[in-house]
Amino acid sequence: MQSLNKITDYIWELPKTGKMKVPGRIYASKQLIDEIIQDPCLEQVRNVAYLPGIVKYSLAMPDIHWGYGFPIGGVAAMDFDEGVISPGGVGYDINCGVRMILTDLKYDQIKDKIRPLLAQLFRDIPTGVGSKGAIPDLSKNQLHQILTNGSEYAVKMGYGNWQDVEHIEEKGCLAGADPSYVSEYAKQRGKKQMGTLGSGNHFLEIGYAEEIFLPKEADVFHLEENQVALTIHTGSRGLGYQICDDYLKTTQRAAEKYNIPLPDRQLACAPIQSPEGKTYLGAMRCAANFAFCNRQVIKHLAEEAFMKALSISPKELNMRTVYDICHNIAKIEKHTVDGKETTVCVHRKGATRAFGPHHPDLPLTYKSIGQPVFVPGDMGRYSYLCIGTENAMKETFGSSCHGAGRMMSRKKSSKVSRSMDMFAELKSRGVEIIARGKRTIAEEMPHAYKDVANVVNSMEGAGIVKNVAKFKPVGVIKG
Amino acid sequence: MNHTSDIGVEVTGENFSKLMENGAFALFDLITDLSTVDPTYQETINIPEENAEDQFRTWLEKLLLLHNIDSYLLTKFEVNINPDGKIVGNVWGEQYKAEKHTLFSEIKAITYHQFQVIQTEQGWSASFILDV
């Protein structure tokens, strides 16, 4: 791997060489970049820069790590008329994302009840491989409605409320979703999984605000120290995986048809304006809507579980969605490129949207401060609530990091975990956990991840986000 | 094989049939404890004539669909290559039962990243990365 040029303390450039159409840019502190260069992910930043129509840079956020095709933590904007769309640039778990939820509870009110609270959540929210959906077997019409309308349909079915929908990226529904572009296999995989958390790195976490950095901005969230929060991390489940798999085949054929050389088959793509590109977009949006709906259903189940376990009323709990963001998505957006408004297709794979203040797509609540970006860390340390900035709009197509970023393979993490009592280790950090199996915990222990503080501080140092508050996890359920 | 985010698998076989059988076993060995799976259900899988890489991939994908859609856990695999080149696989297993089986990993898909099937001096070898 060739050397990187330092642009600022937090930006590193991978110079344009060979068939790269644009340079690469990596957002990271010196400490993080020294770790990043040890990983094969920079080769993937370079490969993405080969793709037709890529605008300005092949970008990487500080939580970047080795993916397949695109790096995880990669952002690439393609010209809407000349560029391509790549299912690999979105990933298998389409619209895997995070919903951040606040309550009116203070940590003192729940600190002696974490275990029963987790047990209730674990009972009520289908978790892990092979679990049946909260809505066990969706009818054809129900699935069609979900794929077309996303979260809105969940509310119509009685899950959550309109306040939630208002505080979801794209109001919980990507327009232009077309279920006729979704295969029967994908529908079969999805119909039994509505309202399931899944396994792997998916989780539901209870935490509280440990430190507030920006009190004025925190006021906008009605957020105070010690306030209890909830995070849901899951996506479009088997439906999204199958859509990605189906369209990797379609776009491999399309790449051949349109003479697009691929440095990696996983980077298969089709021109955005081609029939193949349009059908993928239509199907991908269906998966995105499924995921929005899934997180909506789970939020409702969590609310019921809290009320049951703590014997409190909805008013006392006041559980509300702060914001729900996508981690794996391709979106058609308008950005200013070289002083000109340009329509681009922004691929965010393991990255989030982080729009600055006054953007028309933000809900009224956040117009003055910018889009909330909740960045979960590993389950033992802390998570951050950040907000997007004007600078993000200028530099990263309004994008930021999505998490801590893995630095250890699952296998290596499991090996390290074997030498410790994992439950005792988490307990020493003040975290209770309930999981379907020990293997997932072993793979997901804090040592497998970068310190998320270094990640968000890199983004703040680069002026892409501002850190509003830090949250301490106290309870986790996993698959 | 170590991959930061996912699981990499390397598998060999003295011939292409064995490679397919071993690849399938590796896949399901990552999903569950195969010693708990009884081979009571049988299914026949036909693989269209393509190149070796596509055949190997299609085989694994079809088996993964049996698991992901119909909840089958498969434990025994027999692959025959007919004189006309057509590949027929017979697989045995049973449907997942929560009280009997433990599922280790949810395998989202077999990725194309570094996917490789090659003929070696000793037979055949394949490597692939699973998204989990």
Query: A44 CB contacts (<8 Å, ≥6 apart)?
Result: A66, A67, A69, A70, A71, A74, A264
Q: Which residues of A touch B7 (CB under 8 A)?
A: 410-411
CA distance A87 to chain B (A): 12
Q: Which class for A180: exposed (0-12), middle (13-18), buried (19 or more C-beta within 10 A)?
A: exposed
C-alpha distances (whole Å) from A476 to each of A114, A377, A455 are 10, 12, 22
Predicted pLDDT at A135: 86
Alpha carbons A171 and A111: distance in angstroms, whole number: 33
CB pair distance less than 8 Å for B109 and A245: yes
Q: Which residue of B has its CA nearest to A186?
A: B69
CB of A269 closer than 8 Å to CB of A85: yes
Residue A369 maps to which CATH number? Answer: 3.90.1860.10
B34 has a chain A CB within 8 A of its CB: no
For residue B13, report the phi and psi dihedrals to the nearest 5 degrees: -160, 145
The two structure tokens encoding residue A89: 């640039």
Contact A188 B102 (CB under 8 A): no
Q: Do A92 and B131 touch (CB under 8 A)?
A: yes
β-pair partners for A341: A336
**Whole-number CA gyration radius for chain A:** 21
Q: Is B2 part of a structural domain of the chain?
A: no
User: Is B97 an 8 Å CB contact of chain A?
Assistant: no
User: Is the dihedral angle over the CA atoms A415, A416, A419, A422 positive or is it negative?
Assistant: negative
For residue A442 the two structure tokens come to 């072993």
Structural domains in chain A (count): 1
What is the domain count for chain B? 1
Residue A67 and residue A411: Cα distance in Å, rounded? 16
Contact A130 B71 (CB under 8 A): yes
Check residue A6 and give its pLDDT. Answer: 97
Q: Give the pLDDT confidence score for residue A2 in this predicted structure.
A: 58
Using DSSP's 3-state secondary structure scheme, residue A123 falls into helix
pLDDT of amino acid A479: 82
* Burial (CB count within 10 angstroms: exposed 0-12, middle 13-18, buried 19+), residue A341: exposed
Tokens representing A454 are 């270094």
pLDDT at B7: 85
Q: What is the pLDDT of residue A244?
A: 97
Whether residues B5 and A72 touch (CB distance < 8 A) is answered with: yes
Q: Which of B4, B105, B109 sits opposite A66 (nearest CB)?
A: B4
- pLDDT tens per residue across span A419-457: 999 999 999 999 999 998 888 899 999 999 999 999 999
Cβ contact A60:A54 at 8 Å = no
3-state class of A455 per DSSP? helix
User: Where in the sequence is the domain holding B92, given as residue range(s)?
Assistant: 7-131
| A296-336 pLDDT, tens digit each | 999 999 999 999 999 999 999 999 999 999 999 999 999 99
What is the domain-level CATH number for residue B109? 3.55.10.10
Q: Is A346 helix (H, G, I), strand (E, B) or coil?
A: strand
| Contact (CB, 8 A) for B13 and B24 | no
pLDDT at residue number B132: 87
**CA angle in degrees (0–180, nearest 5) for A418-A419-A424:** 90
Q: CA A260 to CA A53: how far, in whole Å?
A: 11
Low-confidence ranges of chain B (pLDDT < 70): 1-5
pLDDT at A83: 98
Does residue B101 sit within a domain?
A: yes
Give the number of C-alpha atoms closer than 13 A to the C-alpha of residue A135, restricted to the C-beta side: 23
- Residue B1 in any domain: the answer is no
Task: Give the pLDDT score at B5.
Answer: 60
CB-CB contact of B6 with A412 (8 Å): no
* Amino acid B39: pLDDT: 97
Residues A78, A344: contact at Cβ < 8 Å?
A: yes
Asked if residue B44 lies in contact with residue B90, where contact means CB atoms within 8 angstroms, the answer is yes
B21 assigned to some structural domain: yes
SS3 annotation, A269-308: CEECCCHHHHHHHHHHHHHHHHHHHHHHHHHHHHHHHHHH
Range of the domain at A162: 5-478
Judging by beta carbons within 10 Å of its beta carbon (0-12, 13-18, 19+), is residue A315 exposed, middle or buried? exposed
Assess contact for A77 and A347: CB atoms under 8 A: yes
What sign does the CA torsion over A263, A266, A270, A271 have? Answer: negative
Q: With respect to residue B124, please indicate whether it lies within any of the assigned structural domains.
A: yes
All residue ranges of chain A with pLDDT < 50 are none
